[in-house]
Structure 1
Amino acid sequence: MLVGKVAETVRSIEVMWKAGLIPFPRIDEGLQALVAMRRIGPFAASTQVAARRDPTAVGLVDERGPLTFKQLDLRSNALARAWAARGVTAGTVIAVLCRDHRELVTAMAAAGKLGARLLLMNTGFAKPQLADVARRERVGVLVHDQEFTELLSAVGEDVDRYLAWVDTDDPLQRHEVPVLDELIASTDDRPVPLPPRLGGFVLLTSGTTGTPKGAPRGAVSLLAPAQFLDRIPLRAGECTFLAAPIFHATGVSQFMLSFALGCKVVVRRRFDPEETLRAVEEHRCTTLVLVPTMLQRIVDLGPEVLARYDTSSLRIIFVAGSALSPDLGNRATAAFGDVIHNLYGSTEVAVATVATPEDWRLAPGTVGRPPVGCRVVLYDHEGRRITEPGVTGRVFVGSGLSFQGYTDGRTKEVIDGLLSTGDVGHFDRHGLLFIDGRDDEMIVSGGENVFPAEVENLLVERPDVVEAAVIGVPDEEFGQRLKAVVVRKPGSDLDADTVRSFVKSNLARYKVPRDVEFVERLPRNATGKVLRDRLK
């Protein structure tokens, strides 16, 4: 056990050194940066360290242009001082309801410098969800973009409000609610004293049903970055286009890593597939961070549009957040080359496995292998470990990044110190993991178990299908029957009989959907997950 732990530590240090997180020969700088993260959190520490390393280096680019790490560091100093003067202290919960832009990043760093707890709100919230989360998490300060003002009407009047991104020059609105940019410009930007303790931050679960749960993140192992860097070759001083929203685990993890490596991060408030390609070319981005629905919209632009932009600088297309179908991954590989890195994880466990381009070539659809510091084990419903290839079981993960329980006191099931992801999957003979679906989405029809992903992945292989979802609906004879909800390519005359015949010719009879409905689009949340309750 001790020998294994030492080997894991050595391997983690090697991975971080190779990425440039522990720079040679100034290893002391890297260690100082890691220690700073334990005091003021990753957002403030990364900005601060990068600013010291090179005050002229650009850290962030948004619609309003570039900001250096030094400018971001000074802006967050000023905002922290302004908030402190207004009564914000260590332990105050600061919620941010913002799209990706400079004021969001500034607020995240300022919260860390005060030791406040940062709560990343989902920009897709409905008004009741926002109010419920603000009440449950005891929010004291709420930073929001102007476009979300109406959503705040159900939030308690005792919550202080601040405007981040202002769309219009409305004097009344700007007078009633303080604007971050104005606070920053009018406040001293000297360094802020270290807080008495780390505030940490809270991610929210996807919330496809009901009110999302809060998953807090506090101090983690100094070796934790190796769990991403082991199988995703990010390198110091490069450029990341971050299309995935920062409020989501996918976006925030890659934002933290990119900033820690001193990479320039390019963001946009709203995703546009062609604008993304244009920015990749302009900034010579080496990494593109997406959720699968974004990747699909890019690939669906077609060869003619893709050929207009020089994306040869891309070494990594990082995809996470929901399942990447074999068809989409193969189309993306054909368009961009062997650059697809498919991460599997969750808000609760962070990273579990990563499929490298080599893994994907060997087994399209795989989510790969665990990186250094992670363990993935399958168990059956009686808690017995599954070791045979091809046998489906419940997925459990152990790592230094796993959370310790939700903010409301609940947690996920634990077996042998490993945390349940709520998914089921299997390993193939090469040791590569495949996710078969959510444990609670399994459909039992006539005594046979069906996981929707298998049928969905088959349907999207058809050139006349844009996307598809499969759900179970009540059936008097079989308990449940399968229903396919399909989005056709424009101009397609695909019908229900053809869909059923196609599935029947490729899968077992009990996996054929009896009902087929065609829609213009599937309902999804802000991170691309299908809202299956709406389909029902």
Structure 2
Amino acid sequence: MPAQHFLTKITDTVGAVRVMNRAGLVPFPRVDQGVRSILAVRKYGPFAGPVHANAEAGLDAVALIDERGPLTYTDIEEQSNALVRAWQADGITPGSVMGCMCRNHRGLVLTMLAAAKNGTKLVLMNTGFARPQLVDVAAREQVQAFVYDDEFHAVAEALPDEVLTYRSWAEDDSTSQVGTLDDVMEGRDRSSLPAPSTQGGFVLLTSGTTGTPKGAPRGHTSPLASAQFLDRVPLRRGQTMMMAAPAFHGTGVSQFALALALGQTVVMHRKFDPENTIRLVEKHRCDTLVVVPTMLQRIIDLGPETLAKYDTSSLKIIFAAGSALSPDLCKRTTAAFGDVLHNLYGSTEVAVATVATPADLALAPGTAGRAPVTCHVELYDESGQRITEPETVGRIFVASGLSFSGYTDGRDKERINGLLSTGDVGHFDRNGLLFVDGRDDDMIVSGGENVYPLEVENLLADREDVLEAAVIGVEDSEFGHRLRAFVVAGPGSAKDADELKAHVKSNLARYKVPREVIFIEELPRNATGKLLRRVLIEMDVTES
């Protein structure tokens, strides 16, 4: 091992331990508590391990609140033990593969815990899947059992007959003959389980804005890796977290795992509603709100009068991740909630790259921030040469203890010097803050000039009469491609396309001005809030 690499590992480890101590995961001088948790993680993994440790330690706290009410750490520990025994009776053994298509509620949580304790690999399906996507992913990942919400029954019916199926719980209007998790847990032994003979782990799916999503496996990782999230975000023991982001995606599952490790209470609601989310923050005095940016946009768009109806003074952290945050949304969030916004930049494959704190966002709204402890970010040009000059755009590569080792189908993303490609391009400013300029494959070449849509989109969204904007390239006989902007107008907007074009022309280079501006009611997004540019490209605008 090269000396410099060895020194980096030592520095990362020392920094991670310091961060974990500050957050309360390694509580000096009570190191026995930290050791107990680490041993439990080695036994059951990073999700079920902390729950087991907290329950064994007699933690008198509510772990989860959903629409059915509260569950303590002892409740979810014992219920997940019973679920494991039920599955084992049905022939679901360590090393098997289970799929799960659930929204945020106890059924998803218990499935996650039980899969880990059983050594079952859990494939977290996107709740936006149609039948063909589910069938394709289930076949590729060799799914043998499947847990789903009643609302996805028609989708789940497309699975082969040999796949064992379970409903997460019975809806009032359900007439399905498929058993529920409550049914199979009833009467089962709830005592502690031995460690599984093989480790389970998760398979997270890429956002899937085009085609069938790829699978990114996550096995057992070092407990020190959690320091990536805790270094720049002040999550602490005993807080209450409102989990609005979908827990089947990397943002939700990572923050939920951290909350459980810290003995927090997590509030969930199956379907996101912006006003109900703020109401739940007030009701449960939540310290943290976890969202994807499109959720945050909808909350802010409620307007000052609606937001003022709820007491959100308990909020210390709004944690946003999953896609880019515009400078306008950063400023509006700060105006509404104060200096609480934290913006995480990463991907399903690399996990954490950088985190922007409220101080970073005050200095430079829209920034992705800086790399936390154990993370390293570098920029490379097309020839693989490292870029060190500020303000120079390059491809973003990341080294992280939580990065994946390759897709489940054997493919991988590009790697340079041990760092993994994010698929994005960006630049560092002179303060060392990272800015993401867009997806590498979103670049539009118009008249021989390179245009990244995000710059134009942020400029348009910064206007008071624009809620959101998206820019695509469409074929053009003269320029190769021309820019087309789709705009969601704000209240009182004149919907004047020429005015918006003139605004871009007065602030950016001429070749970045959209030739067309199309006003639409909302931008197409998937279940995790990612913009579906493909839908915009295929959209018939002749009647718009």
AA at the equivalent of 1:145: D
AA at the equivalent of 2:309: R
Q: 1:53 aligns with which of 50, 57, 60?
A: 57
Q: Which residue does the alignment assign to 1:6?
A: 10
Secondary structure, in 3 states, of the residue corresponding to 1:422? strand
1:483 is the counterpart of 2:487: no
What is the CA-CA distance between 1:154 and the residue it aligns to?
Answer: 2.0
* 8 Å contact from structure 1 (residues 39, 197) kept in 2: no
Q: Distance in 2 between matches of 1:3 and 1:484?
A: 49
Equivalences for residues 386-397 of structure 1 within 5 A: 386-397=387-398
Pick closer, same or farther for the CA change 1:133–1:227 going to 2, 3 Å: same
1:496 is the counterpart of 2:500: no
Q: Distance in 2 between matches of 1:513 and 1:166?
A: 50
What is the CA-CA distance between 1:185 and the residue it aligns to?
Answer: 2.2
Q: Which residue does the alignment assign to 1:130?
A: 134
Equivalences for residues 161-172 of structure 1 within 5 A: 161-170=165-174, 172=175
Q: Distance in 1 between matches of 2:397 and 2:361?
A: 22
Q: 1:15 aligns with which of 1, 12, 19?
A: 19
Secondary structure, in 3 states, of the residue corresponding to 2:221? coil
Q: Distance in 2 between matches of 1:257 and 1:209?
A: 31
What is the CA-CA distance between 1:54 and the residue it aligns to?
Answer: 3.3
AA at the equivalent of 2:334: T
Q: Distance in 1 between matches of 2:31 and 2:166?
A: 40
* 8 Å contact from structure 1 (residues 455, 511) kept in 2: yes
Q: Give a deviation string over 1:25-59, Cα, whole Å, max 9, x none.
A: 32122123123223312221121112123343100
Q: Which residue does the alignment assign to 2:540?
A: none
Secondary structure, in 3 states, of the residue corresponding to 1:265? strand
Secondary structure, in 3 states, of the residue corresponding to 2:98? strand
* 8 Å contact from structure 1 (residues 201, 217) kept in 2: yes
Equivalences for residues 158-197 of structure 1 within 5 A: 158-170=162-174, 172-173=175-176, 176-197=177-198
* 8 Å contact from structure 1 (residues 100, 267) kept in 2: yes
* 8 Å contact from structure 2 (residues 122, 201) kept in 1: yes
Q: Distance in 2 between matches of 1:305 and 1:169?
A: 33
Q: Which residue does the alignment assign to 1:226?
A: 227
What is the CA-CA distance between 1:435 and the residue it aligns to?
Answer: 0.1
Q: Which residue does the alignment assign to 2:31?
A: 27
Secondary structure, in 3 states, of the residue corresponding to 2:420? strand
What is the CA-CA distance between 1:490 and the residue it aligns to?
Answer: 4.3
AA at the equivalent of 1:189: R
Q: Which residue does the alignment assign to 1:94?
A: 98
* 8 Å contact from structure 1 (residues 51, 57) kept in 2: no
Secondary structure, in 3 states, of the residue corresponding to 2:224? coil
Write out the 4+ residue segments of structure 1 that deviate beyond 6 Å after TM superposition: none
Secondary structure, in 3 states, of the residue corresponding to 2:481? strand
Q: Which residue does the alignment assign to 1:274?
A: 275
Q: Distance in 1 between matches of 2:42 and 2:420?
A: 24
Secondary structure, in 3 states, of the residue corresponding to 1:285? coil
What is the CA-CA distance between 1:516 and the residue it aligns to?
Answer: 1.3
* 8 Å contact from structure 2 (residues 46, 221) kept in 1: no
What is the CA-CA distance between 1:110 and the residue it aligns to?
Answer: 0.5
Q: Which residue does the alignment assign to 1:375?
A: 376
Equivalences for residues 374-523 of structure 1 within 5 A: 374-523=375-524
AA at the equivalent of 2:192: P
Output the TM-score relative to the length of structure 1.
0.98
AA at the equivalent of 1:138: Q
Q: Distance in 2 between matches of 1:511 and 1:207?
A: 28
Q: Give a deviation string over 1:436-494, Cα, whole Å, max 9, x none.
A: 00000000000100000000001111111111100000001111000001111245221
What is the CA-CA distance between 1:413 and the residue it aligns to?
Answer: 0.2
1:325 is the counterpart of 2:326: yes
Q: Give a deviation string over 1:262-302, Cα, whole Å, max 9, x none.
A: 00000100111111111111111111101111111111111
AA at the equivalent of 1:157: D
Secondary structure, in 3 states, of the residue corresponding to 2:65? strand
Q: Give a deviation string over 1:88-123, Cα, whole Å, max 9, x none.
A: 111111111000001110111011111010111100
Q: Distance in 1 between matches of 2:149 and 2:298?
A: 26
1:114 is the counterpart of 2:118: yes
Q: Answer with 161-170 or 104-113: which moved more.
A: 161-170
Identity %: 63
Q: Give a deviation string over 1:393-412, Cα, whole Å, max 9, x none.
A: 00000011000000000000
The count of aligned residue pairs is 533
Q: Distance in 2 between matches of 1:529 and 1:382?
A: 29
Q: Distance in 2 between matches of 1:233 and 1:492?
A: 39
* 8 Å contact from structure 1 (residues 38, 198) kept in 2: no
Equivalences for residues 144-163 of structure 1 within 5 A: 144-163=148-167
Q: Which residue does the alignment assign to 1:85?
A: 89
* 8 Å contact from structure 1 (residues 59, 264) kept in 2: yes
Secondary structure, in 3 states, of the residue corresponding to 2:395? strand
* 8 Å contact from structure 2 (residues 97, 145) kept in 1: yes
Q: Distance in 1 between matches of 2:60 and 2:12?
A: 36
Secondary structure, in 3 states, of the residue corresponding to 1:42? coil
* 8 Å contact from structure 1 (residues 232, 341) kept in 2: yes
Q: Which residue does the alignment assign to 2:541?
A: none
* 8 Å contact from structure 2 (residues 85, 189) kept in 1: yes
Q: Give a deviation string over 1:145-194, Cα, whole Å, max 9, x none.
A: 00000002321111100000322254x41xx2111012112312121221
